[in-house]
Amino acid sequence: MRIIPAIDIIDGKCVRLSKGDYDTKKIYNENPLEVAKEFEDHGIQYLHLVDLDGAKSKHIVNHKVLEQIAAKTSLKIDFGGGLKTDEDLRIAFESGANQITGGSIAVKDEETFKSWITKFGNQKIILGADAQNEKIAVSGWLEESDKELIPFIQGYQREGITYVICTDISKDGMLEGPSFDLYSKILSQTSNLKLIASGGISTFDELPKLAELGCEGTIIGKAIYENRISLKQLENYILSKV
């Protein structure tokens, strides 16, 4: 299972929110590149970079941060937050994104999202399936849609999607543990899905459990920043799997 630390960006700074609420913003570092380099120094190869300004303004904003991290580390970056147009994608990929994540766009403009899968291929496009009570949420989680989570994922699998990041919003940033039951349910009702668990990771012991369920990766945010999980523990976990 891939270990994917998260860096969320507001005003070019590394922050975390609770349940996607911008009013709960906590700044952890003024310099995201510094954070990314520290991840890399501990053997981490992947990064989940979220442009929270972009999510709010519905177009890419913090691409300079992406560019800087991509140029000065060898991390494979998946980038998301407010990507709505072909131009946004062009900027993201030219700025060094390895993959992009589309969430709201996959709900609100299916044709555009499907065209991205066709144009860039399913190794480059990740479906962001963020859910509250198994209903898909959009627009930086400010809105709940009427779409059911698992049929939504299955529908996009038929379009060729293999990578899905699923965040249970009720868990995100709360450090209360991930949604094991939800991930188990998703994996039991899909096949050949590369499911990336996100939200709620609070202790190191949860990682082997997610791996056992069959998650392809897990995104860890606040647990790292609040020193609940040390980078040394993650380094040892990665080395033990080599």
Taking the model in full, what pTM does it have?
0.95
CB-count burial class (<10 Å; 0-12, 13-18, 19+) for 41? exposed
pLDDT tens digits for range 102-148: 998 999 999 999 999 999 999 999 999 999 889 998 765 556 788 99
| DSSP string for residues in 145-170 | EEEEHHHHHHHHHHTT--EEEEEETT
How confident is the model over 203-218, as pLDDT tens digits? 999 999 999 999 999 9
Is the torsion defined by CA of 32, 37, 38, 40 positive or negative?
positive
Which pLDDT value is given to residue 141?
59
DSSP reduced 3-state for 86 = helix
The pLDDT value given to residue 109: 95
- Provide the mean pLDDT of the chain: 94
Among 8, 78, 88, 172, the one annotated catalytic: 8
Single out the catalytic residue among 53, 130, 168, 172.
130
User: pLDDT digit string (tens) for 34-91?
Assistant: 999 999 999 999 999 999 999 889 999 999 999 999 999 999 999 999 999 999 999 9
**Among this protein's residues, is 168 annotated catalytic?**
no
8 is catalytic: yes
Q: Which whole-number Å values give the CA distances from 196 to 26, 108, 180, 217, 220, in the listed order?
A: 24, 22, 12, 4, 11
- Predicted confidence at residue 88, as pLDDT, reads 97
